[in-house]
Amino acid sequence: MPIYSAPVQDIQFVLHDLLEADDSEIPGYEELSREFTAAVLGEAGKLATEVLAPLNTVGDKQGCRLENGTVHTPEGFGEAFEEIRQGGWNGLDLPEEFGGQGLPYLLGTAVGEIMVSANMALNMYQGLTHGAINTLLAHGSNDQKATYLPKMVSLEWTGTMNLTEPHCGTDLGLIRTKAEPRDDGSYAVTGQKIFISAGDHDMAQNVIHLVLAKAPGGGAGTKGISLFLVPKFMVNADGTLGPRNAVNVGKIEEKMGIHGNATCVMDYDGATGYLVGELHKGMRAMFTMMNEARLGVGLQGYAQAEAAWQNARTYARDRLQGRAATGAQNPDGPADPIIVHPDVRRMLLDQKSFVEGARAFTFWGAQLIDRANRKDDAEAEGMISLLTPVIKGFLTDKGFDSTVLAQQVFGGHGYIEEWGMSQFARDARIAMIYEGANGIQALDLVGRKLPQDGGRHMIVFFEMVKTFIKENETDGTLEADFLDPLKKASKDLQAAGMFFMETGMKDPDSALSGSYDFMQLFGHVCLGLMWARMAKAATEALAHGAGDAKFYRTKLATGRYYMARQLPATSMHLARIQSGAGPVMSLDAVSF
Amino acid sequence: MPIYSAPVQDIQFVLHDLLEADDSEIPGYEELSREFTAAVLGEAGKLATEVLAPLNTVGDKQGCRLENGTVHTPEGFGEAFEEIRQGGWNGLDLPEEFGGQGLPYLLGTAVGEIMVSANMALNMYQGLTHGAINTLLAHGSNDQKATYLPKMVSLEWTGTMNLTEPHCGTDLGLIRTKAEPRDDGSYAVTGQKIFISAGDHDMAQNVIHLVLAKAPGGGAGTKGISLFLVPKFMVNADGTLGPRNAVNVGKIEEKMGIHGNATCVMDYDGATGYLVGELHKGMRAMFTMMNEARLGVGLQGYAQAEAAWQNARTYARDRLQGRAATGAQNPDGPADPIIVHPDVRRMLLDQKSFVEGARAFTFWGAQLIDRANRKDDAEAEGMISLLTPVIKGFLTDKGFDSTVLAQQVFGGHGYIEEWGMSQFARDARIAMIYEGANGIQALDLVGRKLPQDGGRHMIVFFEMVKTFIKENETDGTLEADFLDPLKKASKDLQAAGMFFMETGMKDPDSALSGSYDFMQLFGHVCLGLMWARMAKAATEALAHGAGDAKFYRTKLATGRYYMARQLPATSMHLARIQSGAGPVMSLDAVSF
């Protein structure tokens, strides 16, 4: 069975050494002392190692089953969910008004990483609920908030998001689910939704569905869409549960992975729904919390990579095959551990340098969200809007690749299910698809986020990189290993942006043909920036004689690996972008 | 259910326009007229589309099961295997002396692609048999050949290769399976082998295992290893089957994919075995046919990509989502087919340009093997030895990536099992691992093949590229779109080789740290060379007014895409290689 233990030291390094969370001017951050985060992360880690992770393969093997209209989750999931509930984990970063603890989203993100690494399928029941809560917080009426939020924050009830229909996912303007107004102010919701994660299960008393549907009088396309709250069980005025609503699980999908999470076809047959937010403004309501939702999926990408990597590292230290080219390292054994082989190290360091960079990038994003929400900081809001598609797209792509690499370290043992490495890859694969497929993230990045506010946020990003480089050029070691590669990568990114500006006016296909490579290029620059900053933090910690010198030296070596061996990808992406629309658009559809 | 139809036109383009198979001086190639290959490929395609492909998802869903010591294959596999047997497909490229048709390996490879695309798991029963036959052809005694080969060529009996044990795969020197000589000249084989593909099944009367084991008197490590033939059922002097031998299936592994193929733990408990080839020379015997076996796995990589790509292309033409940025392409429909979107085209063209380049590369390799075997051409033998790890490693890596891209085109529908896209990715994944994990291929390439015969074959390769460029520089279009990128990529490869020469003498880890990137770099140059040659062939066909002008123009456009958007990867790989051993080797094992 795969192992997992929470990387508390590394998480704390990012929170405190890099992001200086305990020294931040963001309201709520004053709570984030090193002692406090150590305690919270330690508890989360204990739960993850002892309860959640052991159920990960159970969930994969058993999956969910639909019996008499109810979804049954794998053995042990119910008890584990109860522990999550009892621990108050769901409310960590939710308002105290509704039973939460009101702590920063940054801390919620750090805890989330641990939960997702341990058991992504189980965590999704909670994650979807979180998304639904945030949507209700932003758009629900006071009555709705009072009725639903306390139970959802406490996880007595869970939530879902219903967007996709069989014939449309990305293009939501095509949805057919209808909402007919009734005299009592409620709506009768009718239609079929598919791919509904955590659509039903046996771990909570009620499921609160947020459903996109078309009510009469809206325009065509996405303009006519409204958002409705449809409970599985009706809620009486006193808060107790009434009869079943007319919403049913049509079937559970068979999937490549995340078997422990029920992906449901939901049939609405005149189900009672309540309008959330304004009529015909459903798209806006659903996507308000998009930055957080997408950051959460980006997190899934690297959190699966973290779990897979921990196992690959252990295997590489234990498995004896062959001898080091430079002489036996384990002369008394029958062979050396495979970690002596350069190509095994390459695979391990690709994973390690990605995961640690991705963690920093994601936490930085979470801090920006806190800054935007808790300080009304428009600059932070703009920056996280720009970075969100990169966090989602780049980290899920590379996270998946990283799980595939971890599998590869195991050779044939990585392909059989016994060791659990296949599951990490199969589970991680979904993150590249849902919450907007990665190609859509690239489109969002290049088509909307880049030009947003006159391109201002991209300029701010470049300024930030430039300033960081300028401020630290006096440090010779930092300069050669970190700043020079970052400068080069950032220049590639600027050249790509310039290419879009020059050609995009005349031909939108030119920018769109390079959008995916731009997202990758941008992702590398972001991780390069994170690594340069982490290198600075590690260097300073070493200079101040910090406790665990080995940790900081390892951090520097890992960063050097990323800069030397991953960052050169930027020139390839730039070359692809600069090849323009010609190679992509020249064939007509029938010639493919 | 996924579709599949054999790409006969494209296969014929490679066979005839590119490799001029019907005009070759290689013995046996005189049979390969366009009419003849069309007939053979057409028949293979019919079998693939009508019989094999429809069973692909059946095999995935049902898998194999072990009951009372016998492996049962999925429903329909037995009947399909009988059709393969009746069609004489297994003997296509095997000696007439043993019931085969003696046709070139090149044609066998072309047919093999079709069978693998349609149903890889089923094809493996035949593929492993082919490998065992080739080993017996090269090393078996005349008696062994007479007893076993006719039944194996006809597929009445199938074969396996037994190398791996629980504690060793790559490092075969560690194997523990023992062979004790008996008075009658046979051996008692005892030990456990794992990951034995097609280890047992219910589709043939007998299974002939080729087993590596240690007989007394051999040295330590791989020197002490011999090769033994161990039949499932003993064979009487008259060729009829006798009692069961003491070899049993311990269990069937649960795997990520290729569920239709039984991956067995084989327990040998004093089983009767017969020495194949010389005592203590088993490693050499087992690896004699390595070039063919590894080419066969490289083929699996792109053949799965081909099948996946056919489905992605169809889906992209059918699925309506969004509108083209340059104006509606399907104004009467609710939305445009997603093939109008540049990023969907990027995904499709990445697949198409890879698969077609990979086909050319693999077939060229098969032609080199024919040249080596049928003409005793040492130059061809040296070249295919050099290229084999590239064919295996590069094509399986990129083939898997390509199936993941195909899955991505389907969005959420690619993640659920219903559409079959997950299976292509799960099945393709194994090809990166077995027959020598891809890191081992890179090691073989850089550690053995590059320096082989004083580096002569690499020099011949560079000369070939240079000559081709020189000979065709007069063609302006070819030069800009194909020759210039090829020249640049080839220079990157030369620079990488130079770096290894300069640093490898002092520090073996320096070359080994870059071995994987070298394999990728080399792969891109090979596909670049293939595309340049195909572009030349297509240009000539167009100049001669060949029939299907659209096919040749599409070929040119696809090639331009590869050169513009894939070949730039070479500079990234070079940069990684040139970063040397430092970033890879600096951490000690405990610091990971």
Alpha helices in B505-568 (DSSP H): 508-513, 515-543, 549-561
d(CA A202, CA A305): 29
Judge whether residue A290 has pLDDT over 90.
no
Q: In B, which residues are within 8 Å of A558 by CB distance?
A: 587
DSSP bridge partners of A230: A209
CB atoms within 10 A of CB A142: 7
Tell if the CB–CB gap between A348 and B592 is shorter than 8 Å. yes
CATH, domain B53-87+119-280, list 2.10.109.10, 2.40.110.20, 3.40.50.300, 1.20.1440.230: 2.40.110.20
Name the residue with tokens 């990605």. Answer: A354
Judge whether residue A547 has pLDDT over 90.
no
Q: What is the pLDDT of residues B406-449, one digit of tens each?
A: 999 999 999 999 999 999 999 999 999 999 999 999 999 999 99
Q: Name residue A212's amino acid.
A: L
Express as a percent the part of chain A with pLDDT over 70: 100
Burial class (CB in 10 A: 0-12, 13-18, 19+), A69: exposed
pLDDT for position A60: 98
Q: What is the pLDDT of residues A386-410, one digit of tens each?
A: 999 999 999 999 999 999 999 999 9
Q: What is the pLDDT of residues B248-283, one digit of tens each?
A: 999 999 999 999 999 999 999 999 999 999 999 999
Judge whether residue A232 has pLDDT over 80.
yes
d(CA B517, CA B38): 38
Q: In B, which residues are within 8 Å of A430 by CB distance?
A: 415
Give the closest residue to B365 by CA, choosing from B588, B110, B584: B110
Domain boundaries, chain A: 53-87+119-280, 285-441, 444-586
pLDDT for position B288: 78
Tell if the CB–CB gap between A516 and B339 is shorter than 8 Å. no
Q: Name residue B462's amino acid.
A: F
- Same CATH topology for B53-87+119-280 and B285-441: the answer is no
Q: In A, which residues are within 8 Å of B169 by CB distance?
A: 321, 411-412
Judge whether residue B546 has pLDDT over 80.
no
ipTM above 0.95, yes or no: yes
Judge whether residue A458 has pLDDT over 90.
yes
Q: What is the pLDDT of residues A337-389, one digit of tens each?
A: 999 999 999 999 999 999 999 999 999 999 999 999 999 999 999 999 999 99
Q: Exactly one of A435, A463, A479, A502 is catalytic; name it.
A: A435
Closest residue to B433, CB basis, from A415, A571, A592 = A415
Q: Exactly one of B435, B471, B473, B540 is catalytic; name it.
A: B435
Plot region of B28 (φ>0 → left; ψ -120 to 50 → alpha; else → beta): left
d(CA A62, CA A73): 8
d(CA A444, CA A452): 11
Q: Is B320 helix (H, G, I), strand (E, B) or coil?
A: strand
Q: In A, which residues are within 8 Å of B342 by CB distance?
A: 509, 512-513, 515, 581, 584-585
Contact B271, B230 (CB under 8 A): yes
- DSSP state at residue B215: P
B408 touches chain A (CB under 8 A): yes
CATH, domain B285-441, list 3.65.10.10, 1.20.140.10, 1.10.630.10, 3.30.56.10: 1.20.140.10
Give the closest residue to B344 by CA, choosing from B404, B399, B398, B408: B408
d(CA A472, CA A363): 22
Query: Distances from the Cα of A432 to the Cαs of A128, A301, A392, B280, in angstroms?
Result: 17, 8, 8, 50
State the average pLDDT for chain A. Answer: 96
Mean pLDDT, residues B573-582 taken together:
97
pLDDT for position A506: 86
Q: In B, which residues are within 8 Å of A349 by CB distance?
A: 583-584, 587, 592
Radius of gyration of chain B (CA): 24
Tell me the residues of chain A between 175 and 204 that have a Cβ less than 8 Å away from chain B. Answer: 194-195
User: In chain B, what is the greatest distance between 2 CA atoms, to the nearest angstrom?
Assistant: 83
Q: Name residue A421's amino acid.
A: M
d(CA A129, CA B262): 42
- The dihedral over CA atoms of A570, A571, A575, A577, expressed in degrees to the nearest 10, equals 20
Give the closest residue to B565 by CA, choosing from A438, A393, A441, A578: A578
pLDDT for position A504: 81
Task: Say if pTM beats, i.e. exceeds, 0.95.
Answer: yes
Closest-CA residue of B relative to A581 is B342
Contact A530, A566 (CB under 8 A): no
Closest residue to A589, CB basis, from B337, B425, B553 = B337
Plot region of A178 (φ>0 → left; ψ -120 to 50 → alpha; else → beta): beta
* Buried residues in B53-79 as b, exposed as e (16+ CB within 10 A): bbbbbbbbebbbebeeeebbbbebbee
Instruction: State the sign of the Cα–Cα–Cα–Cα dihedral B472, B476, B477, B479.
Output: positive
Tell if the CB–CB gap between A572 and B576 is shorter than 8 Å. no
Q: In B, which residues are within 8 Å of A572 by CB distance?
A: 568-569, 571-572
Nearest chain B Cα distance for residue A107, angstroms: 26
Tell if the CB–CB gap between B508 and A326 is shorter than 8 Å. yes
pLDDT for position B425: 98
Question: For B121-144, what is the HEC assignment?
Answer: HHHHHHHHHHHHHHHHHHHCCHHH
Closest residue to B342, CB basis, from A257, A426, A581 = A581
Contact A116, A299 (CB under 8 A): yes
Express as a percent the part of chain B with pLDDT over 70: 100
Contact B47, B5 (CB under 8 A): no
Tell if the CB–CB gap between A433 and B415 is shorter than 8 Å. yes
Judge whether residue B23 has pLDDT over 90.
no
Give the closest residue to A574 by CA, choosing from A514, A526, A512, A527: A514
Report the DSSP pairing between strands A206-214 and A157-162: parallel
Take residue B245 and report the two structure tokens written for it: 């031998």
Closest-CA residue of B relative to A338 is B589
Angle ∠(A394,A398,A402) on CA atoms, nearest 5: 165
B33 touches chain A (CB under 8 A): no
A402 touches chain B (CB under 8 A): no
Mean pLDDT, residues A415-440 taken together:
98
Nearest chain A Cα distance for residue B408, angstroms: 7
pLDDT for position A221: 87
Q: What is the pLDDT of residues A13-26, one digit of tens each?
A: 999 999 999 988 99
Closest-CA residue of A relative to B339 is A589
Mean pLDDT, residues A140-149 taken together:
98
pLDDT for position B347: 98
A411 touches chain B (CB under 8 A): yes
Take residue A251 and report the two structure tokens written for it: 């079937």
Question: Among this protein's residues, is A356 annotated catalytic?
Answer: no
Phi, psi of A231, rounded to the nearest 5 degrees = -80, 145
Q: In B, which residues are within 8 Å of A568 by CB distance?
A: 571-572, 575-576
